[in-house]
Structure 1
Amino acid sequence: MSFDHASLPAVLAGPILRRSDPERILLWLVGSRPLSLELVLSPQDDSMPRHHVLSADNCRVLPLGKHAYLHLIDVQFDRPLPQDVRIDYDLRLKGETDQGIADWAPHLLYEGAALPGFVIASRLHSLLHGSCRKPHHPGRDGLVRADSWLAERWAEPDKRPAWLLMTGDQIYADDVAGPMLVAIHALIRRLGLFDEILEDAMVADSQALFASSDTYYHRERLLPDIVSNEALRERLFGGVRKPIFTTASAQNHLITFAEVLAMYLLVWSPVPWRLIEVKPPDLDEKHAKRFDEEAVIIEDFVKNLPQVARLLANQPSLMIFDDHDVTDDWNLNAAWEEVAYEHPFSRRILGNALLAYLLCQGWGNDPDRLAMPMSEITSLLSAAHAQDALPDLEQDAAIRELLRFQGWEYVVPGHPKLVVLDTRTRRWRSERKRHRPSGLMDWEALSDLQQELLDEPAVVVVSPTPMFGVKLIESVQKLFALAGKPLMVDAENWMAHRGAASVMLNIFRHSRTPANYVILSGDVHYSFVYRIRIRDRRHGPNIWQITSSGVKNAFPDTLLDWFDRLNRWLYAPWSPLNFFTKRREMYVTPSTPDRGKAGERLWNGSGIGYVTLDGEGRPQAITELDARNLDVHFPLEEPGEERLEISSDKKRGWHPRGGP
């Protein structure tokens, strides 16, 4: 099929509002060509509009293919932008036509609005947060619910959240529906995204991969496994021949850089879907039926993408990876890392996903912090643009440097400070028992974290995996880890590694770290709230573990009900089992959601979390905005509890009646 590339829309995805403050604003978008743009900011405080003609100094443009160019708009201001007022903005396409967002992307405007707009909050008063958005999960999309919720508040600056925090698994590179993979390949062809050579693979290059009879629903046959290293495979998989890529859904695992980039475009924007056709490939009867079932879910997902794009264009957002942004069980333990990174093909697959994360997520969090890896990828893409394909040696070199990079975590100053953790690439590895789960952060990373916390009165921490999880589930994971089968149960939690758990808990005990902690997490595919305090200390700190997961995913209902029920029985306040856990020196008090079944602590359902904070960084209200249009509230006090206020100088304490 031939395409008229001249008819491609100028903007394929975005703009997406990224990190924004009074001195600087970042926007991400992908165009079908390098765009000549003017940014117009119109604060609603009667000040004059500000016009910024964008140049190479404040708009970085990187080629992704023949007809795809990533733009990161990074404008810094001599005169700060106002806070706590709505600032409307326009991106005008200069050149043959002078069109604004209302012309080329009217779906980004809320009803009654002439332009998209955002608010720069003077303090961290409220947040939206969530993780785990799988397009073919048969449930509604929490980002759509967030957009509908924001639509009711877009004109009221004081009611708009400071940030949308996307706390992991923004894509599922390792679990892709058949119709989505067909769309990915159609978009790669339509935009001419870069090809690549595949070393030590069963296919020579990306074109051979796309043409392979195994490319749909049989990619586990193409993924590498290590035949030669029997000892490692014995320890990792119990002697069973199994790929390095341990997900049970590897049949359509993304492999090439172009595939991961195309998926980002397809999950964030409705525009690419208008440029392609999704036709079923030749499949056997079993997989043809599965394709048709998935197609119904994907069609509904696509129908709601205009709302998702509108949310991302009107709400500043911050992001951090978790495993599915790369692959399931990413860096689970030292043995997994040794197997995965020693093989050129598996290292390329992991590196491609991380390169795409850098461009599509990481870059907008803190461009200055990522200057070094961005220099590497800029050189790679410039070389690819010159020869219409990624040069093999340069791609491998960029990936090697990226895998060595330490600096994905970042901090947003404010009241309170926001600290976003990397719990994937700076892990505390068990060198003697390499099949045991690694600690989520190593000693040095935890020491860096403590330095960020010293003398802060309050802090919001984003930990993709809950620091305080469900004890029964953690115990099950520990049993499998002790039996040498950590991969069977995703045995990744803060308590799985003695050293990491001990240092993390000691940080909370330190006298100079904050009086109030709010920990925001995802990962687990259910939502819950715990309040924690240290035993025998009346003077804090206050700790709230708030978990919202997933945005478009859920836990198996019956299994979660049993885990919830058994956890309440086995770890009740009077249970002696509490004294065998690493957090035995802490009281952990769960909050009971108001719409749950009697006694239910875990909420199961797609949605997005919403937290409001008071002037001292303590939660005022905790809500799960369920995608089924339910507001699920987690009370801050349970019946029979007394809540005493704690000030930032820790002179007063908070003491619940109850147990761990």
Structure 2
Amino acid sequence: MAIRSGRGHTRPLRVPTRPKRGRTVTASLPLGPVLRHVGTTTATVWVQTSAPGRVRVVADGGVTAVADTFTVHGHHFAVCEVTGLEPGSATPYEVFLGEERVWPEPGSAFPPSTLRTLDPDAPTRLLYGSCRTPTGDTPEGVVRYGPDLLRATARRLAAEPVEGNLVMLLIGDQVYADEVQEPMRAFLRGRRGEDGDGPEDEVVHFDEYAELYRQAWSDPQVRWLLSTVPALMVFDDHDIRDDWNTSAAWRRTMDDRPWWRTRITSGLGAYWVYQHLGNLSPAERDKDPLWAQVRAARVDAGDEVDAFALRAYEEPESYRWSHRHDIGGVRVLMLDTRCGRALGEGDPSDGSRSILGASGHAWLDEHLTGGPDHVVVASTVPVLLPPAVHHLESWNEAVCAGAWGGWLRGPAERLRQALDLEHWGAFRYSFERLADTVGRVARGERGPAPASVLLLSGDVHFSYTAPARHRGVGEGGSRILQLVSSPLCNRLPSNFRRMARLSASAPVHLAGRIMTWLARVPSSPLRWRLSSGLYFGNTIGEVSFAGRTAQARWYHVVQGGPDALPEVHSTVDV
């Protein structure tokens, strides 16, 4: 048997060795390995281990990386940086804890896990999606939530050769901390007993987050996918709590709950450990102040992680969660649209209310430039919603700020929270600033104009395409396109689908325009429309780039059981 490397060559399949007969296996990986940040010659492997010790990643050809574990609240982790790999290669690897081989697991039906490095000259494919509730594709899970597209993608990639650069963007709601399934509820009941210190159906403590991640990422198919396809991640609200940082009023309400301080500390700390740490390049990780503290901790770094997380919540400007990656000719900007929000309650145009915060906008201005063949802005919440919803959110923000008098501010705030009016349209300053920057990039005013500026998003639990035009961008400028793929596994109930379809209708669009005009909301420099209807099934999006051309696809599972392969639902030339 043979597998293909990223350059199209074949290399022998290395048969994993098995533990010697009669030997007791004491070490294990509760989670991982997860392949995270990759470069042309480097690959980051993240693991969670059952005990402290030394982790070795051993790749074919004798390349080895070694790292000691670090401990956070009694849980053990390691980050191994494998160096000396060939550009554009796919190298099988094994993981050892001490002298014990802990990956791959004996009897795995999947191909060997591989370290996939980047080739600057190769075509690039980006998989992306959000909003996943783990069900294992059980019959009852499929009926309620639909088929799991991460599991289906694992089956697809295990059955077909992978050429060029392939990277997966997980853009929000990797876990649902506030809408847990029965296995997690059972864990909470067993941990807390009858006198719980938080909501019975929500996680609060770091230990509970650790179990939440274990249940989300330990499915064998998902685990193999994460071990062999480089993944970049960013949080959305459910990673912490629904509607996280919707407004200053929402935040005040949460701050008054006795368990919230523990919850936000645990959630952000767990996110840094499980998701964000692997987004960083070796150089970025070495500059991270918390990474230095964690590595220096003598026994357990729980206190250091908690202090960091609480400060990141109370002082959003103290840490940057957004990150940039250049993959071949594609620049990917992963945006923090949650933790860094500025939640002022004054004039919506003065910047005191912002979806990125001052430092987030400064970072985006620095990196959203021309030069690459394509620029991808990954925002968990869509920048371009169905126009009627965008108008509703802009109107609501204006009324919450007093555009129709102080007596309507309270009802408008209640409406904002009830209808989740908290996307880019509800942050006019941020929307206009991003729209202006995108327009200047598309006109070639910030470096050579890329072929496209793509806005990749999830969150809304339906998928669509929205081509856009910016005033002043002629036919020779970059193409601007919003691509949404959501959910991976959390299908909307039928009543919510009806509401979403209504929101995209022409009469509601007209009503929204009238409402924003009456609230004196300035017109947008961007004009967009939905090029097709809303699709409500579970999907994973894929964008393929070759030079200055690109094509977007959406995969879904039409029929069949838990072993069904995904099929292409729709295709758009970019």
> Normalised by the size of structure 2, how large is the TM-score?
0.79
Query: What is the CA distance between 1:72 and its match in structure 2?
Result: 1.1
Tell me if structure 1 keeps the 8 A contact 2:346–2:353.
no
Distance 2:499 2:262 in 1: 40
Asked whether 1:314 is paired with 2:228, we answer yes
CA deviations over 1:579-637 (Å, ceiling 9, x no partner): 95766443313232xxxxxxxx1111123111212312x53232233475553444437
Bigger fraction of residues in strand: 2
Q: 1:500 to 1:36 in 2, by over 3 A?
A: closer
Match of 1:62 in 2: 70
Amino acid paired to 1:456 = G
Distance 1:564 1:437 in 2: 33
Q: 1:316 to 1:576 in 2, by over 3 A?
A: closer
Amino acid paired to 1:255 = V
Distance 1:171 1:21 in 2: 27
Query: What is the CA distance between 1:400 and its match in structure 2?
Result: 3.0
Tell me if structure 2 keeps the 8 A contact 1:607–1:627.
no
Map 1:574-613 onto structure 2 (within 5 A). Answer: 580=517, 584-592=524-532, 601-613=533-545
CA deviations over 1:384-419 (Å, ceiling 9, x no partner): 48xxxx66xx67534333333321111112311111
CA deviations over 1:96-133 (Å, ceiling 9, x no partner): x5x3634x3543x62xx455453534356211111011
Query: What is the CA distance between 1:157 and its match in structure 2?
Result: 2.6
Asked whether 1:421 is paired with 2:335, we answer yes
Map 1:391-470 onto structure 2 (within 5 A). Answer: 397-403=307-313, 404=315, 405-414=318-327, 415-432=329-346, 438-457=353-372, 458-470=374-386
Tell me if structure 1 keeps the 8 A contact 2:210–2:270.
yes
Asked whether 1:502 is paired with 2:507, we answer no
Amino acid paired to 2:413 = G
Q: Which of 505, 525, 541 matches 2:461?
A: 525
Tell me if structure 1 keeps the 8 A contact 2:340–2:357.
yes
Map 1:470-549 onto structure 2 (within 5 A). Answer: 470-478=386-394, 482=399, 483-485=412-414, 486-510=416-440, 511=443, 512-513=445-446, 514-515=449-450, 516-535=452-471, 537-538=473-474, 539-549=476-486
Match of 1:372 in 2: 289
Query: What is the CA distance between 1:578 and its match in structure 2?
Result: 11
Query: What is the CA distance between 1:372 and its match in structure 2?
Result: 1.2
Tell me if structure 1 keeps the 8 A contact 2:466–2:483.
yes
Map 1:110-189 onto structure 2 (within 5 A). Answer: 110=110, 113=111, 116=114, 118=116, 120-122=118-120, 123=122, 125-135=124-134, 138-153=145-160, 155-158=161-164, 162-183=166-187
Match of 2:555 in 1: 624
Query: What is the CA distance between 1:165 and its match in structure 2?
Result: 0.6
Asked whether 1:13 is paired with 2:25, we answer no
Match of 1:266 in 2: 215
Distance 2:123 2:284 in 1: 22
Query: What is the CA distance between 1:63 and its match in structure 2?
Result: 2.0
Map 1:102-117 onto structure 2 (within 5 A). Answer: 102=104, 104-107=105-108, 110=110, 113=111, 116=114
Distance 2:515 2:395 in 1: 16
Amino acid paired to 2:159 = E
Amino acid paired to 2:77 = L
- Identity over aligned pairs, percent: 23
Q: 1:338 to 1:124 in 2, by over 3 A?
A: farther
CA deviations over 1:322-377 (Å, ceiling 9, x no partner): 11111112111123334544767422211111000000000000064452133445
Query: What is the CA distance between 1:261 and its match in structure 2?
Result: 1.2
Distance 1:40 1:128 in 2: 27
Q: Which of 174, 183, 193 matches 1:211?
A: 193
Match of 1:34 in 2: 52
Distance 2:126 2:51 in 1: 35
Q: 1:71 to 1:540 in 2, by over 3 A?
A: same
Q: 1:69 to 1:256 in 2, by over 3 A?
A: same
Distance 2:231 2:527 in 1: 33
Q: 1:118 to 1:23 in 2, by over 3 A?
A: closer
Tell me if structure 2 keeps the 8 A contact 1:373–1:401.
no
Q: 1:635 to 1:533 in 2, by over 3 A?
A: farther
Amino acid paired to 2:163 = P
Aligned-partner SS, 1:133: coil
Match of 1:335 in 2: 249
Tell me if structure 1 keeps the 8 A contact 2:179–2:201.
yes
Match of 1:292 in 2: none
Query: What is the CA distance between 1:73 and its match in structure 2?
Result: 1.0
Map 1:355-370 onto structure 2 (within 5 A). Answer: 355-366=269-280, 368-369=283-284
Q: 1:341 to 1:563 in 2, by over 3 A?
A: closer
Amino acid paired to 1:181 = R
Asked whether 1:51 is paired with 2:63, we answer yes
Amino acid paired to 1:13 = L
CA deviations over 1:238-288 (Å, ceiling 9, x no partner): xxxxxxxxxxxx54110111100121112111xxxxxxxxxxxxxxxxxxx
Q: 1:519 to 1:356 in 2, by over 3 A?
A: same
Indicate the larger mover: 362-371 or 23-32. Answer: 362-371
Q: 1:121 to 1:212 in 2, by over 3 A?
A: farther
CA deviations over 1:419-458 (Å, ceiling 9, x no partner): 1111112223224379x99431134422321221223243
Distance 1:150 1:429 in 2: 42
Query: What is the CA distance between 1:570 and its match in structure 2?
Result: 2.8
Distance 1:212 1:574 in 2: 50
Query: What is the CA distance between 1:547 and its match in structure 2?
Result: 0.7
Distance 1:73 1:632 in 2: 36
Indicate the larger mover: 552-561 or 173-182. Answer: 552-561
Aligned-partner SS, 1:175: coil
Amino acid paired to 1:631 = E
Tell me if structure 2 keeps the 8 A contact 1:38–1:51.
no
CA deviations over 1:508-560 (Å, ceiling 9, x no partner): 22242444211111111111111111245313231111111111112233442
Tell me if structure 2 keeps the 8 A contact 1:174–1:324.
yes
Query: What is the CA distance between 1:64 and its match in structure 2?
Result: 4.0
Query: What is the CA distance between 1:478 and its match in structure 2?
Result: 4.9
CA deviations over 1:183-237 (Å, ceiling 9, x no partner): 4676xxxxxxxxxxxxxxxxxxxx6xx1225x4xxxxxx54xxxxxxxxxxxxxx
- List runs of 5+ in structure 2 lacking aligned partners: 1-23, 136-143, 400-411, 560-564
Query: What is the CA distance between 1:475 and its match in structure 2?
Result: 3.8
Tell me if structure 1 keeps the 8 A contact 2:188–2:200.
no
CA deviations over 1:44-75 (Å, ceiling 9, x no partner): xxxxx133251xxxx24112465x42111123
Distance 1:173 1:338 in 2: 20
- Structure number with bigger Rg: 1
CA RMSD of the aligned region, Å?
3.3
Tell me if structure 2 keeps the 8 A contact 1:423–1:463.
yes
Distance 1:472 1:507 in 2: 23
Match of 2:103 in 1: 101
Q: Which of 490, 495, 499 matches 1:553?
A: 490
Q: 1:93 to 1:470 in 2, by over 3 A?
A: same
